[in-house]
Amino acid sequence: MPAEGAPGERADGGRAHGRRADGAGAAGENGWTAEGDVVARVLGQWRQVLPDLDTEPIGVIGRLTRCAALLRQSSDAPLAREGFSRPEFDILSALRREDRDLTPGRLARETYASGTAVTKRVRTLEERGLVERRPDARDRRVAHLSLTERGRELVDRILPEQVAFERSLLAGLGEEERDGLARTLGELLRLLESREEAGSRR
């Protein structure tokens, strides 16, 4: 399945050249160009179609969306080789790092997933013998989830491999670039989280 791109990207995905239709590099106001960046091509197309539209947000959100899609599709990742999706491994990781029983609701908050999605993933992990549940002693409608010994061993084995794989994906960036990117993404994440929290209080 093709990776998702920026708004307005053609379904054929075409090759990304990062150039405008007139042959000039796709550049922002600071002169930055992105050769081979599919989002730069999309921005160039929008400039041709709607020249008065400020498409700056697409430069950020479109690239985040594209990167996330490509990372999800990394078939050579240790998780994929082991037959796990990232959301499933997020469940296992949350249980491992918390190192205690968690309710499905708490897992949903820890993994930024809906309750329905968590229920489905937990059921799959239970069937694989990696997660077990026990009913609450006072309210049997409440379940407490934990890793089995097999689940704990699996996380401890796969996580170092996955981290090494992700480090290799960032190898083309220098240390300062990685640190700066992490800080910028952290600031964006805090903004989005505060927006979500404000919305939930309404």
- Split at pLDDT 50, 70, 90, the class of 24 is very low
* pLDDT surpasses 80 at 30: no
Q: How many residues are present in the chain?
A: 202
pLDDT tens, position by position, 137-150:
787 788 899 999 99
- Name which of 3-17, 46-60, 105-119 the model is least confident about: 3-17
Alpha helices in 16-103 (DSSP H): 38-49, 56-72, 78-81, 86-98
Q: What's the rounded mean pLDDT across residues 10-39? A: 47
CA atoms within 13 A on the CB side of 182: 8
Q: Given a cut of 50, is residue 163 above it in pLDDT?
A: yes
Rounded to 5 degrees, what are φ and ψ at 131?
-130, 140
> What confidence score (pLDDT) does residue 73 get?
81
- Rounded average pLDDT over 134-163: 92
